Amino acid sequence: MFPPTRIRSCLPVINPMFRRMRPHKPFRQTIHNQTKNVHNGFNTTNLQKTKWMNFRAIFTRWMPLGSVIYVGWCYIRASVNYELSKVEIKFYEMFPFRITSRLWGKLASCELPIPIRSFVYGTYIRMFNVNINDAAVTDLTYYKSLSAFFTRALRDGARYISPAACVSPCDGVVLNCGPADTDKIEQVKGVTYSLEEFLGENKWSKTKDISYYNSLLKNKNNILHQCIIYLAPGDYHRFHSPCDWTSNFRRHFSGKLLSVNPWLARLIPGLFTINERAVYIGEWKHGFFSMTAVGATNVGSIEIYSDPHLRTNTKGKRNRIDELEMHKATFKKGELFGQFNMGSTIILLFEAPADFKFELNAGERVLVGQALTTATKEFSR
């Protein structure tokens, strides 16, 4: 028999020999490497699982990824004129756009360091084709925050105010314009919204009529006309009074903040009756006149210069309605009216003779002060 000391001295030679005699197990090396990584603190498999399977991943990974996929899917379906189902619309409405818009508002109002302002605003200008030459101040370092840059003022003479009776209140793209002779009004071609749901109960008019539509008209020979203008993120974000008129009533609907992008407006019927909006109602020379600022995703703040009491996208129930008597606040054509943060929509709904015709067509771009009718365009020449 070999002494124990001699056996121990032979082990370094014997052990490799026995290893060669073991059956081949190709996965053994993989397991060995994983075990080694665990001992070293680098378990890559478990690390990947923790990134996607913990509670935090719902908000940091799954929700953003799901939102991008869903919005992309909506865009594809819109391109083939597919109408969304009620279930899909409800799913989209469930996303907390009011919370994200408030967070975006806080982020946009943060003061940026001067050295990075030119880079941040310059990137935004290139992404959204902003015409900075129309701004009152073209030095990008002047704007302390993104919010200040979004709501920049125009330089004097940047816009010509036409002598027309009614002009464009903002820069943007016309979604729809024309007569609105029924209670159902087109928000875009083939997609409608309810006039009564949009304006709410008629408390401002002394005229009582069974028909909601007729209760708005001062002259029964007239009809209602509408003009919907979408402000893109790269547009000038302030809006002006489109004519000489008097407002005596304001109604604020605290609704949702869904996107009002034109392709999405084609998918969701009654989009403008769902979203948060500030409706200003009064009269102009032909009778009833209303101007509505509609909120949208990331547009948590709608500011009206003559109405400091207005507070939009506040915490609380989304079906709240706030009303205010304006006591005949007068506005002159071209006068500054309010401003948005990011893009949104302005809707003009007014009474005029039946032969009142818009010069504009859906899809055309307009600028502040541009004439809206053929007759006034000829007059301005």
SS3 for 39?
helix
The one-letter amino acid code at 307 reads D
Among residues 240, 241, 254, 301, the one annotated as catalytic is 240
Active site residue 171: yes
Among residues 134, 171, 235, 307, the one annotated as catalytic is 171
Q: 245-254 and 320-331 as β-strands: parallel, antiparallel, unpaired?
A: antiparallel
Contact at 8 Å (CB) between 251 and 200? yes
CA distance 91 to 287: 41
CA distance 43 to 180: 66
Tokens 């084709």 correspond to: 129
Longest dimension (CA), the chain: 124
Helix, strand, coil % in the chain, rounded to nearest 5: 35, 25, 40
Active site residue 240: yes
Taking residue 181's Cβ as centre, other Cβ atoms within 10 Å add up to 11
SS3 for 42?
coil
CA distance 177 to 350: 11
The one-letter amino acid code at 238 reads R
Taking residue 31's Cβ as centre, other Cβ atoms within 10 Å add up to 10
Q: Which of 379, 344, 374 is nearest to 151 (CA)?
A: 344
Catalytic residues: 171, 240, 344
